[in-house]
Amino acid sequence: MAESGATTPRERYRAQVRTEIKDHAWEQIATAGASALSLNAIAKRMGLSGPALYRYYAGRDELITGLIKDAYRSLADTFRQASEASDASKAGASSAPGPDLTTLAHALRGWALDDPQRYFLIYGTPVPGYHAPDDITAIAQQIMATLLDACPVTPPDSAVTPLDAHLEDHRQWAGDHPAPPATLRSALTFWTRLHGVLSLELAGHFTGMGFDPALLFAAELEEFSPSTPVGRTRSA
Amino acid sequence: MAESGATTPRERYRAQVRTEIKDHAWEQIATAGASALSLNAIAKRMGLSGPALYRYYAGRDELITGLIKDAYRSLADTFRQASEASDASKAGASSAPGPDLTTLAHALRGWALDDPQRYFLIYGTPVPGYHAPDDITAIAQQIMATLLDACPVTPPDSAVTPLDAHLEDHRQWAGDHPAPPATLRSALTFWTRLHGVLSLELAGHFTGMGFDPALLFAAELEEFSPSTPVGRTRSA
DNA sequence: TGTACATCAGTGAACGCGCGTTCACTGATGTAC
DNA sequence: TGTACATCAGTGAACGCGCGTTCACTGATGTAC
């Protein structure tokens, strides 16, 4: 999708086939993982002969790069939409301005569970050779910016650590977002902690353990919720 | 290694060749990732012909399973050794009994950085079909048990959460370790948080960001250090 | 409106490759008397 | 100590497969006059 303004019938057709190829590619990735992706297999599934796909993609690598870019865009969109929705819902009176982290967190988890292999295509095991093209960095920064917009400007514990100072010097990763240092750290920690629980869940490392990953995710999230103090207060 | 008591020369030879095969396998995995592992390529590197390896492994799958098991064992050993070393060093007088989490954390990070693809073989993107054999679960539990031994029995914030109760009901994952619920949660969180930072670092997701992953790792770790209160106190 | 031409989607054959795996066999190493 | 036998490591040929990718080509779709 988002192949930009197609006008002539031929252009429309091309765009449609390109996305059809991608759809089959995602299906194949979800079934057997990204390393099993094969142009010939996709062609066969579409009722085409192998070389036909070379009208649409220069090769396997270009297709995969396209998929990765789409995955990033999809996550960025999901994040932005969740952010806007939560922003609108509390337009009336409620607590703090801006979207809240809980909404973003659940959007992230939903997006990941929706297609675990798509999550892993972005955040999973890297293939030693591959280096992401530059325009992907931009989308990653956009994701970070959305996250920073949702972070309370004064996080629960707001003392400035050495790490904060270090991050301050390297704000580029959030597109030079003008948030205070403690907020930068907060967003980064939000990201790494949720990724920690989520990636282990998606990889199935909790299945042998019997308990519910959602509870673990929620517990990690609670640490960021501004409504509850940082030391959990409920007891059982 | 640890092929168990080899006595006759032939047995010793077999064991040696088996580990030599594994060594080449690891080298290949480190270079091109686990999905690129090929029996023929290993044989060629060893100066053997392809089918020769079938004297030592029933096939590619058995070799990979062996590698995974070795990786788990290696991590368990690293953990245990770090644990014992830290235990001994403070035999004199110092603070709490038992090893401390900082030592374990750095052992983990060192082990991971030593061979990122080995880390990913365990904790990385799962291949949709594969299911780990049962004896691996045992090693994973042993790792958890070592971790639990190092957790302070009364963690920094010790109120009992609903998650604690849930974990209490599913203690199996730690080999029925007799730690209090809050400690179970603490160990689990230790694991997921460090994995969060570490896996993103190993996957190279911080390289475009310019800052030092070690600082982020240390910051996450600080939250578990009993010497420092949970809210960081230093300022800059 | 029809004709001539250009564009482009898709085909089928082919190339070269490396993979996992089997099989019948050779030659060396160990064992038993 | 030497001889007969069994064990087993390793070979080379072969099978069947699917991969990515190229190339010359046909036939349909669009464009220009």
Q: A141 touching B, CB under 8 A?
A: no
Task: Tell me how far apart the alpha carbons of residues A200 and B112 are, in angstroms, rounded to a whole number.
Answer: 16
Surface of B (9-68) touching A: CB under 8 A: 30-35
Residue A5 DSSP one-character state: -
Looking at A6-15, A151-160, B164-173, B189-198, which range is the least confident one?
A: A151-160
Protein chain B, residues 55-74, with a C-beta closer than 7 Å to any atom of nucleic acid strand D: 55-56
Q: Does strand D come within 7 Å of the CB of A7?
A: no
Q: Does strand D come within 7 Å of the CB of A31?
A: no
Nearest to B77 by CA among B114, B101, B49, B111: B111
CA–C1' span, A143 to D1, in Å?
83
What is the per-residue pLDDT for A160?
Answer: 85
- Band of residue A3 on the pLDDT scale cut at 50, 70, 90: very low
Give the whole-number percent of chain A exceeding pLDDT 90.
Answer: 76
Judged by CB atoms closer than 8 Å, whether chains meet at A197 and B200 is answered as no
pTM, two decimal places:
0.92
Nearest to A170 among B124, B172, B209 (CB): B209
Judged by CB atoms closer than 8 Å, whether chains meet at B210 and A137 is answered as no
Mean pLDDT over residues A193-205, rounded? 98
Hey, what's the torsion of the CAs at B216, B220, B221, B223, to 10 degrees? 140
Judged by CB atoms closer than 8 Å, whether chains meet at B123 and A205 is answered as yes
Per-block mean pLDDT, blocks of 10 residues, chain B (236 long): 63 97 98 97 98 98 97 98 82 59 97 98 93 92 96 75 94 94 95 98 95 97 69 38
Nearest to B219 among A161, A230, A234 (CB): A161
Task: Tell me how far apart the alpha carbons of residues A206 and B166 are, in angstroms, rounded to a whole number.
Answer: 14
- Band of residue A38 on the pLDDT scale cut at 50, 70, 90: very high
* Whether residue A91 has pLDDT greater than 80: no
Judged by CB atoms closer than 8 Å, whether chains meet at A193 and B192 is answered as yes
